[in-house]
Structure 1
Amino acid sequence: MAFMKSAILVCVTAVLTVYLPQLWTKTRPIITAGTVQPGFEPVAKLFRENFENGVETPTAGSTFSVYYKGSKVVDIWGGYADSEAGRPWKEDTLTVVFSATKGMAALCMALLVDRGHLDYDKTVASYWPEFAQNGKENVTVRTLLNHRAGLSEISDEDTYALLGDQDALGEFLARYAPEWEPGTAQKYHAFSFGLYASQLLRRADPKHRTLGQFFKEEIAQPFGIDFHIGFPLELYHRYPRLSWASSFMWFKETISNPIIRQFMWDRLMTGQQGATFKPIEFQEFMIPEKLALEQPSAYGVGSARALAKVYGILANGGATLKGQRLLSEDIIKKVMDEVQGTPDGFAAVLDVAFNLGFFVQKEAKQFGHPGAGGQYGIADPQHRIGIGYVSSYCSTATLGYDSRFHPLQEETYKCIKKLEAK
């Protein structure tokens, strides 16, 4: 009897511990703010309704931004940067964007190609001789950026301790042996992509900068992009408290997502590691010292506005309205048109192609890069649109339809269609 009472007491305590804080935070008022240009009011309305209807998690914060024909037309945010402290999401709140960082890394590589310091079809070893170890001598820059180099199993655990020593990190990456014959298969290089890109950039860049330094000096500062690969400790006060689903809810979300089910099945059938879909240890990304390290695959910190502005420039022919050029139209055309082969593995499941480091959606004529938890950066050169969405609530929706982001994107296109019809 005493055992039963103790068990009941433990269960009740557990339930109260989990749910009482949620009930408390859910009573906080709904806050949304920002600006939209005439004609885009329905986007702001839908954004607020997402918070009112529970589509957006009330204890987290999100922001959505759009550039159209070079001008900012939507810049809205809502929710809380820290619901426990009652700290609302503000105009200058920044958050980690996970793999959307890869899009910024790919852009840095594209700038080097544009300036004649790098060639997509030359071997990596022609710039970085040590890379030729263990059968990697014929890997081209294109093969590396297209996730076909056989270096996908390198994890955050393998490299985290080396991020503070670029020379030691370069030695580790150079001697790593491919998991398959490079160029013969494709598998997402989740953590290694940005690290190899940065080491290659150090050799090809005349100033021998790291990728984070290059991004800051060549993109962020000249174009006013509030995005950081290596997040300064003094800016951490602008960072939110991340939140994510419980293990049970994560499992429920992944099982109910047909794209994730297919992804898991394909990995199981091909004998690839990671056949189970495990939630990312998101709490690791609450450590300021970790975010301060340069990991161009996943540690980038920025805003939806920053992503939308970058991709808005690329969608506008690579230049701002004032004529300041970020990238040539020729390179942008290569991203959209030079997709090689049929997507397989991760790309085939998502129905996208990898090209030169970007996700390319051929049917929608868009390119960019998503990030874990539902972060998005997209360029649409056909309609001259750049879109960014980030959230401090990390869901499983990166693989598939995101009920927070995709309706906002659809509403944006409806507004543009009406404006263009006038």
Structure 2
Amino acid sequence: MAFMKSALLVCITAVAVLYLPILWTKPLPVLISGTTAPGFEPVLQLYRENFANGVEYPIGGSAFSVYYKGSKVVDIWGGYADSEALRPWMENTMAVVFSTTKGVAATCMALLVDRGQLDYDRTVASYWPEFAQEGKENITVRMLLSHEAGLPYTSKVITQEILGDQEALSQVLAESPPVWEPGTAHGYHTLTFGLYASQLLRRADPKHRTLGKFFKEEIAEPFGIDFFIGTPFESFYRVGRLTGDISGVVATLLKGMGDPLNREIVYAMIMGTNKDLATSFERFSLNAMENYRRAEVLALENPSAGGVGTARGIAKLFGILANGGQTIGGQRLLSEDVISKFIGESKAPSLDRTVGIQTAVNLGYTITKSDGVEQFGHPGSGGMQGRADPQRKLSFGYVSSYHSPFGLGNDQRFLTLQKATYECVQQIEGQ
């Protein structure tokens, strides 16, 4: 009996310690900052409402930015970079953007194409002879960047040590065989896309730089893009502390079962039609979300999912692309001819054998449709986004420290703001 009383006392004490403080914890004040150009004020108002009505998560922070016809028209941020430390989201706060990094990497590859140093229709092996192993000799650059190469995972596990050693990484990638016959299907190269792209870029670039260094020297610094692929230790203090659904891919998907896309993926996993997805994560040792809280992990170049930046930086980059490849000051990043290929040469949506849903991907970008027009860009795990609408010369960047269950472009935090932005543009253009 004495034992039972002691056990009951321990349980009551544990409950009190864990849950009673919540009853006396006051909600954190909502902090919203930033600016909008005339005509875009409804976007800021909706952003405030999203924090008030629970669309935005109260223990996280976020930022949203829009460029229109080359000019920044929305630049807003709110919430907390670290709610536990009461550190508010600031103008220069960055976030881990996961697969939105792929869209940045694709832009680096396009820049090489524009310079005549890379050809989408030549074989990867013509630049990187070692790549021809295991039946990969006929894989073209286009196939690789469009997720058609059959290389969603490697034959060996990519460890932190391998990721930090370019020669060791190059060998593992070159030795890995295709999972399916290249060119016959597309399947999301979740954690290998950027690794292969970087090794290819090293061979095609006359200076033999890694993709992260190439991006820094050729795009980020010349165009003022606040984004890193390989975050310097001295900039780590600016990164919002990752929180939210970071317990694992399956658990995250299950938490988002209210969304049709998440249900499709879970169903595909149950039916075994996207078995490559699980193996993709098994073969990459840093896939656990907790790793992306570590400075030494973010310092590594991971062009598939390790990019860090501001919403402003992402929107600015895609804004240049949406504006015909140049800034309003006339500084050119890409030619209109190359940019026209991103949507113009894309295929209709078809079954992605890795993810298990219908997707359209081309040359490293995902192709989507909003407000009746096509966009190119890339979503990121947890709700991150970077998108360009070349028809309206419009671009979007959304980042958050809160990792939501929605990583396929289906996060309402972004979608509501995007919808409000299009409504503002329609009003401005008199449509």
TM-score tier, shorter chain, comes to over 0.9
Deviates more, 1:356-365 or 1:91-100: 356-365
Q: What does 1:8-407 correspond to in 2, within 5 Å? A: 8=8, 12=12, 15=15, 19=19, 27-154=27-154, 157-245=157-245, 250=252, 252-267=254-269, 268-270=271-273, 272-274=275-277, 281-340=288-347, 342-345=349-352, 351-361=358-368, 364-399=373-408, 401-407=410-416
Decide whether the 8 Å contact of 1:95 with 1:390 is kept in 2: yes
Q: Cα distance 1:207–1:346, how it changes in 2: closer, same or farther (>3 A)?
A: same
Counting aligned pairs with the same residue, the percent is 59
Q: Deviations over 1:163-209 (max 9, x none)?
A: 22111110111011111111112111111000000000000001100
Q: Does 1:408 align with 2:417?
A: yes
Deviates more, 1:87-96 or 1:341-350: 341-350
- How far apart, CA to CA, are the structure 2 residues paired with 1:24 and 1:152? 48
Decide whether the 8 Å contact of 2:379 with 2:408 is kept in 1: no
Query: Which letter does structure 2 place at the counterpart of 1:354?
Result: V
- How far apart, CA to CA, are the structure 2 residues paired with 1:146 and 1:284? 27
Deviates more, 1:121-130 or 1:174-183: 174-183
Decide whether the 8 Å contact of 2:97 with 2:309 is kept in 1: yes
Query: Which letter does structure 2 place at the counterpart of 1:390?
Result: V
Q: What's the offset of the Cα at 1:389?
A: 0.4
Decide whether the 8 Å contact of 2:64 with 2:76 is kept in 1: yes
Which ranges in structure 2 are unaligned for 5 or more consecutive residues? 282-286
Q: Cα distance 1:13–1:312, how it changes in 2: closer, same or farther (>3 A)?
A: farther
Query: Which letter does structure 2 place at the counterpart of 1:356?
Result: L
Which ranges in structure 1 are unaligned for 5 or more consecutive residues? none
Query: Which letter does structure 2 place at the counterpart of 1:84?
Result: E
Q: Cα distance 1:384–1:23, how it changes in 2: closer, same or farther (>3 A)?
A: farther
- How far apart, CA to CA, are the structure 1 residues paired with 2:419 and 2:156? 35
Q: What's the offset of the Cα at 1:245?
A: 3.3
Query: Which letter does structure 2 place at the counterpart of 1:169?
Result: L
Q: Could you state the TM-score of these two structures normalised by the residue count of structure 1?
A: 0.93
Decide whether the 8 Å contact of 2:66 with 2:75 is kept in 1: yes
Q: Cα distance 1:407–1:117, how it changes in 2: closer, same or farther (>3 A)?
A: same
Query: Which letter does structure 2 place at the counterpart of 1:344?
Result: L
Q: What's the offset of the Cα at 1:157?
A: 4.8
Query: Which residue does the alignment assign to 2:284?
Result: none
Q: Cα distance 1:342–1:271, how it changes in 2: closer, same or farther (>3 A)?
A: closer
- How far apart, CA to CA, are the structure 2 residues paired with 1:130 and 1:253? 42
What is the DSSP-based 3-state SS (H/G/I as helix, E as strand, rest coil) of the residue aligned with 1:405? helix
Q: What's the offset of the Cα at 1:275?
A: 6.2
Q: Could you state the TM-score of these two structures normalised by the residue count of structure 2?
A: 0.91
- How far apart, CA to CA, are the structure 2 residues paired with 1:25 and 1:116? 60
Decide whether the 8 Å contact of 2:102 with 2:193 is kept in 1: yes
- How far apart, CA to CA, are the structure 1 residues paired with 2:20 and 2:357? 38
- How far apart, CA to CA, are the structure 1 residues paired with 2:12 and 2:155? 39
- How far apart, CA to CA, are the structure 2 residues paired with 1:333 and 1:157? 37
Query: Which letter does structure 2 place at the counterpart of 1:255?
Result: M
Query: Which residue does the alignment assign to 1:420?
Result: 429
Query: Which letter does structure 2 place at the counterpart of 1:101?
Result: T
Q: What's the offset of the Cα at 1:113?
A: 0.3
Decide whether the 8 Å contact of 2:39 with 2:424 is kept in 1: yes
Q: What's the offset of the Cα at 1:266?
A: 2.7
- How far apart, CA to CA, are the structure 1 residues paired with 2:279 and 2:202? 35
Decide whether the 8 Å contact of 1:263 with 1:346 is kept in 2: no
Query: Which letter does structure 2 place at the counterpart of 1:330?
Result: D
RMSD: 2.6
Decide whether the 8 Å contact of 1:75 with 1:305 is kept in 2: yes
What is the DSSP-based 3-state SS (H/G/I as helix, E as strand, rest coil) of the residue aligned with 2:382? coil
Q: Deviations over 1:25-79 (max 9, x none)?
A: 6522110000011111111011011111121111110000000000000000000
Q: Cα distance 1:101–1:404, how it changes in 2: closer, same or farther (>3 A)?
A: same
Q: What's the offset of the Cα at 1:343?
A: 2.1
